[in-house]
Structure 1
Amino acid sequence: MTDENQVAGDAEAGKAVLDAALAALGDLRESWDPAQVEDWCGSVLSRSGRVVLTGMGKSGLVAQKIAATLASTGCPSLFLHPAEALHGDLGMVTREDSVLALSNSGESEELVRLLPSLVRLGIPMAAITARPDSSLGQAAHWTFTYRLPQGEGCPLDLAPMASTTLQLIWGDLLAASLMSRRGFTRDHFALNHPAGSLGAKLMKVKALMHKSWPAVSAASGLTDVLRSMTGGRLGMTSVMDGPRLLGVITDGDIRRALETAEREGRNPLDLQAEQMMTRTPAMISEDALALEAAGDMEARKITFLMVGQADHPKGLIHIHDLLTAKVL
C-alpha cells in the first residue's frame, strides 16, 4: 500500500469512529428520558450513602472516571471492581448506598454473578447498558440505555469505541443532573479541589485577603508614610480616619507628590498623607471570586485591592496572594 493510500485508509478509519459516535449521540439526544433521570437523582439524594460504580474491562475504566466526576461534584462515590467484590470487597457496600453498573452487553460474567448479592442486600441499582433486556438491564431499577446505529466504529467491529463514549456521556449527564438537584455551586467545587489552580480561582476573596493592613492618619508626614509602607511590605499604606477609609498611598502616589512639591517649591518633608493619597481606591467585595480580583488588578494595572464596601474596608488582597494561591 502506498503512503497516499495508507493516509486515505487511516482517514476513513478515523471518520468511521466519529460517525459511529455522532450517530449514537444523536440517537441518545432524542431518546433519553429526563423523568427517569430525575427519579434516579431523587433516590440517590434521599439516601445517606454513596454511589458505587462497577464494571468490567473498558466499562470498568469508564466507571472509574464517572466515580471521580461524581466525587468531585458533590456526590460521594467509589469504584468497586466486580471481580474483587466477589472475593470480599462487597463488604465495602452498605444498605444506604446506590449502585450504578456499566456493561455494554449487560452480560459481563463477573457483574452478572454479583447481581444476586446486590439484589439480596436491597440496594437500589441503576445500569448503563445497550441492552435493557440483558441480565443487568432486567435486574436494575433504572436502565440508562443507548443504541449504536453505526456500530462501534472500530475497523474490526470488535473494540469498544462508540459504546464507551456513550457510557461516558451518560455518566456526565447523570453527574450534571445531580449537581443541579443538589444545588452544587462554585464554592462547593472549590472546596473539593483545594490543591488545584481551578479551585483557587473559585475561592472567595475573603479566603485570601489580609484582615490587617498598613495604615496612617490624614495628618501623617512623609516619614511616617514611608515607615508604614516599609513595615507593611505591601507597597502601600492606607489613610484611615478610625474605621473609615480616606484613601491609599502607593509608591507612585509618593513620586507624583514629590514631583508636584518640587515644581511648586515646597519642602517634601512638609507633605501630609492626605496630600499624597488616592482618594478613590479600587475596591472589591469580600464575596467576589479570587479570579475576579485577578481580572480587576490586571485591567487596572495595579497590585492590590481594598476589600469591602465604600469607605469601610474589611481587608486587602494583594497580587502576591493570588500568585501564592496559584490564581495567576
Structure 2
Amino acid sequence: MNGLSPALVPPLLGWYDQGHRDLPWRTLPTPYRVWISEIMLQQTRVEAVRRYFDGWMDALPDIRALAEAEESVYMKLWEGLGYYNRVRNLHRAAVVLCQEYGGQLPADYDKLLSLPGIGEYTAGAIASIAYGIPVPAVDGNVLRVAARLDNDFTPITDARYKKQTRERFAAWMPADRPGDLNQALMELGATICLPNGAPRCGDCPLQHLCLGYHHKNASSLPLRAAKKARRIENRTVLLVRCGTLVGLRQRPSAGLLAGLWELPSLDGHLSPEETRSALAGLGWQLRRMLSLRPARHIFTHVEWHMNGYYIELDNQPEPLTFVSPPALRATYALPSAFRAFLNVIEEEL
C-alpha cells in the first residue's frame, strides 16, 4: 500500500485509456476550449455544461470574438451558470490576450496564472491539457482522491494541505502525458471516488494503493472545515406585466449579482396588503395582483427565501425597463434565482 505516490500513474492512466467520458472539450482540446470548459465546470455539473459549452462556441468561437463581444452577449450565454464574475473575467482576460499575446493563450504556466480569473487549477489544466506542460491541476475532486489515498484527515480546505498536495503531484507528473494524468484524476473523482461519503471503491483502479480504503475510512474522508451558516434574506419578488411586456430592473454595479437584470423585489415577506401599499407609494398603478408559489435560492454565503406576486400595471413606472418575452429570452441575462417565478409566462418565453 502506497497512498499518494508515483505508483498510481500506470494503473490510473490505464483505467483512463480503457474508457473515459467523451466530452466535447476533450475531443478537440484547444487552449481556448479547455479554458472555457474549465471555467464553466467550476461549481457546475458536466451534463449541464455540455449545452452551455456548445452554445458558447457557436457564438464566440475564439478569443478575439470573446474580446469584441458586447457584455449583453456573453452574459446571456452564461445565464444560469451563476458566479457571473467568472464570465466577466473571461472577457477581461480575452481583452488582455488580444492586447498582449496576439489573441492566443500563452504556453506558459506563470503567464496563464497572471490573467484575470485564472488560478492555479485552471492554469494547470490549460498548460497540461492543451500544451503538454508537466504541471498539476488540483481541484476539489483531486484533493478528495488524495485525502482518501493517504487516509489523511487534514481538512482539504486548508491552504497548506492544497499546496502540499500540489507539490507532491508536481514532483512526478509524467512528462509525456501530464494532461491525461490530470484528466484521469478529475475523471476518477467525478465518476468513482465520489463525494459525500459515497466512493465506489469496488470499481476503483487505485483500490490496492488506497490507505483510506484499507483503513475503512474512505467514506469518512475528506474532512472539511465547518462552513459558516448562510445569511437568510426574505424577499418579495414581483413578476410585473404591462400589456404584453415584462418589467425588469438592473441590479447595482457592485455586490451580489452585480449589473444583472432581475425581476423587481421588495425587502421582507410582504402580505398582499403590504405589497399594494408599498407599490402605490412608488407610483405603480395596479390593475391586478395574484400570489405566486414561494421559492428559495442558495448562493455561496446568502440564502434567499422568496414569496412572489404576479402584477398587472396600467403604467410603466421608472426605474423598470419593459421588454417583450422574446426579448427577455434572447437578450436579457436573468439570474436563475428568478426562474421559478417565470413559470407563469413560460409559454411566452
Output the TM-score relative to the length of structure 1: 0.25
Higher relative contact order (CA 8 A, sep 6+): 2
